[in-house]
Chains A and B, each alone.
Chain A
Amino acid sequence: MEQVKEEKYVVLPSGVKAMKAIYRDDEKVSKYRDNPLITALPKIMSEYDAFDFMSHYPSIEQNLSEFNDNERFHSLTSVKSFFHVGRHHLNLEMTFSRFLRDSYVGRNPLDKDHATNFHILHRQLNTGEELYLPPNSLSEASSFSLIGYSGMGKSTAIERILQYYPQLIIHPAPVGTTQIVWLKLDCPHDGSMKTLCISFFDEIDQLLGTTYLKQYNRSSTSAMVTAIAKISKTYCIGAIIIDELQHLIRKNKNSEMLMNFLVTLVNVVGVGVMAIGTMKAKQVLQLDFRIARRSIGKVWEPLQFNKEWLTFTSELWDYQWTKEFIPHDDELSEVLYDCSQGITDLAVKIFTLAQGRAIIHKRKGINARLMRQVVKEDLAMIKPMLRALRSGNPTAIMKYEDLYPIDLDEQLASMSLSLDKNSRMEEHRQQAKEKRKKALSLEEKVLSTVIAFGKDEKKAKKAFDTMMKSDPNADETTLLYSVMKMVDEVDVIVKREKKKQAEKEGLKILVPLAEKAKKEKRLSYDLLKEAGYIKDPLHEFNL
């Protein structure tokens, strides 16, 4: 992103920043040249650039030796943003880069076809005809499916790749449009077409500040589809990425409809469609999705125990917050492999949780036993999945895949509770108990003296409590002195309070009387006299 930073942005009414198009004139690939939609994209990355761009290594505190256990424990979650780039990531980046650019080949907005297609689409939207466009022989848009086990970092990888591309590029005349380079949607949970269309409109509205969702909210699905085709053309959408495609499986009719729609987008509209899903989505993706004229398929298997795994673990090994740094060796790495079965995300979690255990149980650092313990106790839930992975039986794996998502924060939270239960907390509790005992005997001494002076016991107790709260370490004499003083003060205050109370009571009686007099249109003097508050002067002076 560094090279785009200096460029000018335009802030759209939606509040989203859009980049002003800068057309590169150094495009060497001839099919990409002269296409403003492609030359406005950043350069094709070399493998090294891609490695640097995608990998992320969170920094580790230098003064780790000064950390106490709690601080160490809190640091553990930093590892979450750790992203190690493996060969499969680089391969994905390369394929995606080609897939995105190819989807723009043959889609030059300055061509005559581009304008013609709008008129066809407009007529179809008005008459409610089925979506159809004359075939574009130049189009190289393709469908792209990425299937992989949960926890292999599919979504994270694609998000990191997408960050390289500006999402919105504003083209001045003659193109005169805002190019939406990519759009990422989640497959709806119910697998319905309509929900997907709605999330498409919603996403566009949020980017551009338009009101498509409001306009098409109640339209038929076919109208929505035509509108989507039109919008995709107007804003030159390059790639639509649909994540979590495994949601589709349950409803067969829906899934077929949705797949047809995605294939139409590729073949007719010329938008590249990428679908990401777990192994469960394999069948749908490999059979239905591949009908697209051109298609790319990728399957991410768990890593094998080989050099790549060792590189990955050696990078991971830097993230230790325990008292002692345990150097990376093949043996521990193999244990971790055995525990995680080559699922990278799972390996990171086991590694972190093992450190959490080490900190709580006052171990110096991680070891093989701790890692196995984590799998056995903290991650007991996913045990069937690990067993299935070990057996290599695909049907068994599919069955247990839903078990996977484990929340590292949650696991750590349940751990920190046990941190409290440990010895130090018990010690602290004992100390607090002794303190309380000590305070009690002191209380008895002070109170008996105060009572001997003829003061009220209740007041003395109250005064003692307040004194203890304000100064818990006070000795006997100071306490005695201040309690005596306080009790006396309290007496004075109580007397004053009583007087005030009496005055108030008076008001309570006299005022209503005066009001009653007003109501009855009599003199308040008479009423007060009747009630006995004013004495008769004749009687008083005995005249």
Chain B
Amino acid sequence: MLCENHTVNEGMGDDGPRVAGPGEQTSRRALRLAAQADSAGPTVAAESPATTTEAPTPRPRRRASFLGVLGELLITAGVVALLYVAWQMWIGDMIIGSQKHSEASALSQSWLQQPSETPTASGSPSASPSAAPTAPADAVVPVMAAQDYGQKFGVMFIPRFGPNWQFTIAAGTGRHDILDAGEIGHYPDTAMPGDVGNTVYAAHRWTSGAPFDPIDKLVIGDAIVIQTPDGWYTYRFRTLEYVQDTQVEVLLPVPQQVGMAANGRYLTLTSCAPKLNMLERIIAYAVFDSFTPTSAGPPASLTQGVTA
């Protein structure tokens, strides 16, 4: 070992196996310099071949060099950047989505536990929830008053998106305080759930929990259910459409029909398309199916799951 030879020579003075010469004097001086500069190795070796055994003793550990630390920091920054991409694409939506599901579930449950002001028509409500009476589309459907901006007034269920899929609905479609917060935003000045006209909602398709991520997986007849303190409004999905972001006609009382008076109960969802992009908007249209009061228990559209 080079270092052992060197130590022995130092301890034994000039009794070492090699002849001390001018080269060694030079190299010793170089060694002292090397102890400070940590980079004199090549210089020593260049002075005389005999001094190659006089390499500086490696310390038990190398001091971290500036470049070494910088390199590790840059590698770390690169890994963190890649982690961010993975978070934004997949992990974050799972985390935020499950948080929002819990929030929506808690709100939904709080409405169920409130004693209903309207007495049940007949029988016990919990006996057969799926057979509970549901009002036909032309019956009187309760409609809540327009809500203040940011008020969470409903919970949306779409069984096609999964049994746990549920998000709160907030009034307004502000980018940062509503959509980026993982809410489904209700367009102001469109109908409230159950009202005659068009009730329109927007939500992100990725990031912020991605409520409308699977919007293009909807099948004709799929239930889109909105729960409010009054009960459940069931809409049935009809069709998708892709439009420009300037196409505000999708918000009209009869979607895309300029100048036509409200003639039915429509529901419209808007989100971005293609996914991960904002060139266009994807629009999902649905029509009103039935209303189920809270006292009657969850409607069949929620309890029976999806067909096919």
A interacts with B: no
- A interface residues with partner B (beta carbon < 8 Å): none
